Amino acid sequence: MEWGDPTKLKLLEKAQRLGKRVRALEDRTQLHEDLALAWECFLDLNRCRQLGYVTPQPIPLSEVVAWLDLHAVDGDEQRVCFSRLVACADAEAMAHFTRETEKEMDRKSKEVTPGGNVSSRNRRVEGKTRRT
């Protein structure tokens, strides 16, 4: 699902369009043709997922079922398989969101504010106690 820095990817693709051989793009994993519709479903539903307090929420099964109905995907076995594929992609996306959120929280916890890592509320409380 994730393949490097998007800026670098654009540069590599541009070099390839200009006729240069780009081994990284040649070795890039390709989506199997049989999975294309499930991937399309995941991408559609990924764009409209609900946001929670800190991170996006998982794609509800009801949304997958609605997508399958809208795209006339028939057959119980096919629909179950399809929903499992989307759930697997969603689980990977949720793990990615969690890792990125943890990195951001870790980065913010290491930021030094004027006066150290003391919140503005604590500075106000400290200021009041010093005056008395």
CA distance 128 to 122: 10
CA distance 9 to 1: 14
Cα-to-chain-centroid distance, residue 69: 25
Threshold 0.75, pTM exceeds: no
pLDDT in tens, 30-66: 778 888 899 999 999 998 888 877 778 899 999 999 9
Q: Where are the domains of the chain?
A: 1-30, 32-131
